[in-house]
Amino acid sequence: MKSMKKTFNYSFAITVGLVFTMFSCDDPNSPGVEYMPDMYRSPAIEVYVDYEFPDSSTARLTPEHAIPRGYKPYPYPNSTEGFELAGENLSNPLHLTEKTIKEGKALYNSFCAHCHGKKGKGKGSIQNAIYGAVPSYSDTLPNRRGNRSMKELKEGHIYQAIMYGLNAMGPHSSLIRERDRWKIVAYVQTLQGKDPLDMQQDKMQETKEENEDSNEEVAKLN
Amino acid sequence: MKFLTAKSTLPFLGLLGMFTFFSLSSTSLKAQEDGEKLFKSYCASCHSAGNNQLVGPGLAGVYDKYEREWLYKWIKNSQSLIESGDQQAVAVYEQYNKVLMPAQPVNNEQIDAILTYIKDYNEKAPAAEAATADAGEVEQVEVESSDNTTYIALGLVLVLLILISVLRKVQYSLSIVEAKKRGEDVPEEKGMKDALAHWVQTNKTIVALMGIVVIALIAKAGWDTAINIGVYTGYEPEQPIKFSHKLHAGTNGIDCQYCHTSASYSKSAGIPSANLCMNCHAYIQEGPQYGKEEIAKIYAALDFDPVTKTYGPNTKPIKWVKVHNLPDHVYFNHSQHVAVGKINCQKCHGPVETYTVGKQHESLTMGWCINCHRETKVQMEGNGYYDEIHERLPENLKKQYLEDGTITVSELGGIECAKCHY
């Protein structure tokens, strides 16, 4: 009889304990119970896991002076002069095809359309008034960016604007990769009412002719 | 005209006066509306109508500070004004970090309308601000009061149970007193336990049946609990900043991948770093739901001064709580699903653009993965590699896989164990 009473007491204590633990799990930030944490938690370093670094940040910066693979320095500073220089000197390094433009369109719709509008007219879906006065790419009003209209902006200007942002537009170099930036530039040119495919071909023709000219000159000299 | 005596002209003139008054006031109203519209479509992306600086300075007071003629010239083409050597123009240009203001395609009347709007805005602004502040307070109080219902219900149940047991006891002692009065033999105080044992002895079938039911219920509850361990459907943790997907992805139509940029390139979709927030929030400093409070938390994390727009050294990471936690023994890659499979984000994450708080929509169990792999057709139209390889398949395999005209993920080995567990 005594032992029965003991078991009863034990089971009572366990029940109370269980009920207590069940209620104590009410923390909305705890996902709940898990099986075998050693199979759930990665022994290798994983993204967004708190490894209790001294600055409590889980997203780590790369070591100082580290350079990503394929990195090319960008020589144009974030200033009015840099904007002009980039416009003059930069050109699209990609070989443009119909497919590049199509990919550019998809990227444009993800990264640009909510402010610049799907058709590049500046009528995006953002409700805030600050982003309600975005200029249209095909705008021909003079003196909109320096001494040129929006439509006259060259590929280098557009690329520089993606890199550093312009006026109320923030810099997008950290979210869009270099290749993708150039694809977007090509698509934006179509929204300006230009044909980037044609333009690139013309340019290649020109450089080819220039090369031939210089070759001829070299031949003459010889 | 002879018939128009003084008596009859008076009401006529009155009417005329009223009419002109109304038409005048309506034109001024219209000008104001136009002013607002014009301001929003030409000025608002760089200037606020109040005092705070966005890209350019706030425009409060600009209508008194400068001469109207100078303003016309400046707004229509500031660059030529600076180049002409106008001292005031050069001073303004130098003062605001040498950022050129683009020439605006507006005429003098439109500029007047815009300036009138800015003036009106600044005269009305303080009252409007006070009103919104009041509304905010009321809302907060309401939210706090609706939290304790479960505790109240539990308390009520407890009180009822105590009441029932006390009443039982009273009834029992009363019945004994009654029996004693009648002179019946009252069994000695046996205690609850003995009484219970006696009842069990006499009602064995009922006890057995009850026992079976109780065991079955416990088994069912145990099974349900065990099978749901590690399944966190509906997990909706409280985040350090009350970021609303509904506002950003829903109302403002920002693409998922604008912020979760690595979804199509990497295993993880990525939680945006705070610099990405600043693409818009360097200028948008007040939200429609919580005002400046929540956006100020981004500034605190970056040690950003919203007035001078400069960053300090005391950064503090924002500790977002991860919602979707997949166990380590299963491999999942976002880019595979987003870039190659062209699966919509919503297919697994639910209608995120309607969530005010991020939550886990699907169970993320293996059965759920496998079901999708069985049902999802692989889009291989226009892919020459697959056209060729299907052409070359032996007849029996052709019949097995190609007869229904579709190839599912599982038919390409999408439910092999080692596809996800390795």
What SS3 string covers B80-108? Answer: HHHHCCCHHHHHHHHHCCCCCCCCCCCCH
Closest chain A residue to B237, measured at CA: A29
**Minimal Cβ distance to A145: which of B40, B102, B275:** B102
Q: Provide mean pLDDT across the span B361-372.
A: 92
Instruction: Indicate the pLDDT class of residue A106, thresholds 50, 70 and 90.
Output: very high
Give the whole-angstrom CA distance, residue A72 versus residue A159: 14
Q: What is the pTM of this model?
A: 0.71
Cβ–Cβ gap A34/B229 under 8 Å: yes
What are A31-89's pLDDT values in tens digits? 877 777 777 888 888 888 888 888 888 888 888 999 888 888 899 998 888 888 988 88
Question: Residue B208: its pLDDT value, please?
Answer: 93
Question: Residue B5: its pLDDT value, please?
Answer: 44
Q: Provide mean pLDDT across the span B203-216.
A: 92
Give the whole-angstrom CA distance, residue A34 versus residue A48: 18
Give the residue with greater pLDDT, A56 vs B349: B349
Quick one: fold of B30-125? Answer: Cytochrome Bc1 Complex; Chain D, domain 2 (1.10.760)
Q: Residue B213 pLDDT > 90, yes or no?
A: yes
Q: Would you state the structure tokens that stand for residue B242, as one six-digit string?
A: 């009350």
What are A130-168's pLDDT values in tens digits? 887 788 888 877 777 777 888 888 889 999 999 998 888
Instruction: Indicate the pLDDT class of residue B22, thresholds 50, 70 and 90.
Output: very low
Q: What's the whole-number average pLDDT of chain B?
A: 81
Closest chain B residue to A139, measured at CA: B105
A217 contacts: CB under 8 Å, gap ≥ 6: none
Interface test with A, best of B280, B281, B325, B326 (most A CBs within 10 A): B280
Cβ-based contacts under 8 A for chains A and B: 138
**Nearest residue to B122 via CA among B67, B55, B59:** B59
Interface membership of B368 toward A (CB under 8 Å):
no
Residues of A in contact with B317 (CB under 8 A): 55-59
Element (H, E) at A204: helix A196-221
Give me the residue spans of the domains in chain B.
Answer: 30-125, 193-229, 236-271+320-364, 283-319, 377-422
**Nearest residue to A49 via CA among B395, B312, B141, B271:** B271
Cβ–Cβ gap B77/A143 under 8 Å: yes
The answer to whether A208 and A174 are in contact (CB under 8 A) is no
CATH superfamily of A80-203: Cytochrome c-like domain (1.10.760.10)
Give the whole-angstrom CA distance, residue B315 versus residue B299: 9
What are B259-268's pLDDT values in tens digits? 999 999 999 9
Residues of B in contact with A144 (CB under 8 A): 102-103
Instruction: Indicate the pLDDT class of residue A220, thresholds 50, 70 and 90.
Output: low
Give me the residue spans of the domains in chain A.
Answer: 80-203
Residues 102-161 of A with CB under 8 A from B: 109-111, 113-114, 124-135, 141-147
Give the rounded percent of residues in chain B with a pLDDT score beyond 90: 26
**Nearest residue to B102 via CA among B129, B83, B81, B75:** B75
Residues 196-225 of B with CB under 8 A from A: none
Q: Residue B147 pLDDT > 80, yes or no?
A: no
